[in-house]
Amino acid sequence: MMDAVVTSSRALDRGLPAELGESLKALLDRRFSVAAADREHHGRGESYHATRAPDAVCYVESTEEIAAIVRLCAAFRIPVIAFGAGTSLEGHVGAVHGGVCIDMSRMNAILAVRPEDLDVTVQAGVTRQQLNTHLRDAGLFFPIDPGGESTIGGMAATRASGTNAVRYGTMRENVISLTAVTADGEIVRTSRRARKSSAGYDLTRLLVGSEGTLAIITEVTLRLYGIPEAVSAAVCAFSTIDDAVSLVVAVIQCGIPVARVELLDTTTVQAVNRFSKLGLKEAPTLFFEFHGTEAGVREQAGTVKALGADFGALDFTAASDADSRNRLWKARHDTHYAVQSLRPSAKIWSTDVCVPISALAPCIHETQADIAGASFPISMVGHVGDGNFHLGLVIDPANERELTEAAAINDRLVRRALALDGTCTGEHGVGTGKIKFMRLEHGPAVEMMKKVKRALDPLNILNPGKVLPEE
């Protein structure tokens, strides 16, 4: 069966059939494009991966339009790739076999806010920043914060997490229900809004993290949280990165409910200082944030400060006013661009792994040797409170020697994490960039995943060439 699926998708590399193009044009009028600039823009994310442009782009405005497009494409066995904001890092949106890109940026309506239930339903093109701006006056917020202006649909599709995950969890824990379009163009809702259910298979969790390969997510119902009474932040520098990581492990194992704890190595701090005009001590640094009552926040910060002294912290600088905190976290979210500015003509090979918290220190320690021996700059940042960290390899994609060296460093990083019972990606997702590690991580379970894919997408038209290795 798999051979038939792969053959059908490969046969599609010939381009868009004229009849299909005419039908899509009739459906969408000016919201259907085959312009080279549109196609180019929709064939890449924000990493080093080569652009793989689709044959056409459809700018949709409703779930029903998406369903109609999928039905048309299924009739011609043409791939369909969902596109949010294009902020992905592992080649998720490239049209590996050509096909039609569905741009959902115009599906940006906040459909229902239910403060009494602490949930909200939004269209997939709503961004996290747009959502939190809308919620602010209600005293609510959505905490998942991967950085960048990511869309909620894209965050659900990649099972995103980010800086707040240590306290609030990831998209997996915060998505209540989805509306999605299946590979045959049917519209389904994965669950009701009840906080728990034992009724049938958990289709919501199946689609969260599926990267558009099992269905196209069009609406998302999310958990919300009350804006904390008090918020404070702190910056803590260390002589060595090992000391910084040791403090993080101690904080988590002591059960201190920090909202965020981010690690920046010296290279990243230097880049951030220059790019964001900060004056941080250029040493391995932790960014903390504490949420709660005034007394609770003071207690958390005081406990972390005392623990930091035990692990050789060079300083502990608090920032409780909103402007200082926002400037600090904006600088953290700008690290991708800050690091790229170290070598403006280069691209970032961005990779991440995640390990159990007890394995974080040895994993990072061993990775330091690869960073020190590289022929190009490498930054390390991490949401280390949940064992997740990232490398940004600043390479010239046209330089084969650098590409080979970067691939070897990435390979060693992933194998190191897997040996510690970790994962090849904590939040970036698989896309095309991490496919080769799927069998190494999951073994025979990959065959079970393929059976699910074949059952839900027998023609292999939903974002083919992603997540699962093709034979």
pLDDT value for 14: 56
What is the radius of gyration, based on Cα positions, of the chain? Answer: 22
Q: List every span in the chain annotated with CATH 3.30.465.10.
A: 110-226
Where do we find the tokens 């905190």?
Answer: 325
pLDDT value for 140: 98
Strand partners, 58: 32, 102
User: Could you give the C-alpha distances from 147 to 129, 219, 231, 373, 469, in angstroms and in order?
Assistant: 10, 21, 19, 29, 28
pLDDT tens string, the chain, 471 residues long: the values are: 333 333 334 334 458 999 999 999 999 999 999 999 999 999 998 888 889 999 999 999 999 999 999 999 999 999 999 999 998 889 999 999 999 999 999 999 999 999 999 999 999 999 999 999 999 999 999 999 987 789 999 999 999 998 999 999 999 999 999 999 999 999 999 999 999 999 999 999 999 999 999 999 999 999 999 999 999 999 999 999 999 999 999 999 999 999 999 999 999 999 999 999 999 999 999 999 999 999 999 999 999 999 999 999 999 988 878 888 888 888 888 898 899 999 998 999 999 999 999 999 999 999 999 999 999 999 999 999 999 999 999 999 999 999 999 999 999 999 999 999 999 999 999 999 999 999 999 999 999 999 999 999 999 999 999 999 987
Would you say 123 and 107 are in contact if contact means Cβ atoms under 8 Å apart? yes
Nearest partner of 426 among 337, 359, 326, judged by Cα: 359
Residue 29, Cβ neighbours under 10 Å: how many?
8
pLDDT value for 156: 97
Would you say 302 and 288 are in contact if contact means Cβ atoms under 8 Å apart? no
Nearest partner of 152 among 167, 142, 166, judged by Cα: 142
Class of domain 230-332: alpha beta
Q: Kindly give, in sequence order, each residue whose CB lies less than 8 Å from that of residue 455, ignoring residues fewer than 6 positions away.
A: none
| Cα 35 to chain centroid, rounded | 28
Residue 335, Cβ neighbours under 10 Å: how many?
23
Tens digits of per-residue pLDDT, 406-461? 999 999 999 999 999 999 999 999 999 999 999 999 999 999 999 999 999 999 99
pLDDT value for 12: 40
For the record, the structure tokens of 228 come out as 């904390």
pLDDT value for 28: 97
Class of domain 110-226: alpha beta
For the record, the structure tokens of 204 come out as 């919501």
Q: List every span in the chain annotated with CATH 3.30.43.10.
A: 2-105+447-456
For the record, the structure tokens of 439 come out as 């069998």
Residue 292, Cβ neighbours under 10 Å: how many?
17
Would you say 391 and 377 are in contact if contact means Cβ atoms under 8 Å apart? no
Backbone angles phi, psi at 127, to 5 degrees: -95, 160
Cα–Cα distance between 245 and 124 in angstroms, integer?
Answer: 36
Cα–Cα distance between 113 and 135 in angstroms, integer?
Answer: 8
Would you say 427 and 160 are in contact if contact means Cβ atoms under 8 Å apart? yes
Tens digits of per-residue pLDDT, 76-104? 999 999 999 998 889 999 999 999 999 99
Class of domain 2-105+447-456: alpha beta
User: Could you give the C-alpha distances from 404 to 21, 409, 443, 456, in angstroms and in order?
Assistant: 40, 9, 26, 36
CATH code of the region 337-429: 3.30.70.2740
Q: List every span in the chain annotated with CATH 3.30.70.2190.
A: 230-332
Q: List every span in the chain annotated with CATH 3.30.70.2740.
A: 337-429
SS3 string, 272-318, reads HHHHHCCCCCCCCEEEEEEEECHHHHHHHHHHHHHHHHHCCECCCEE
Strand partners, 289: 233, 260
- H or E stretch covering 156: helix 152-158
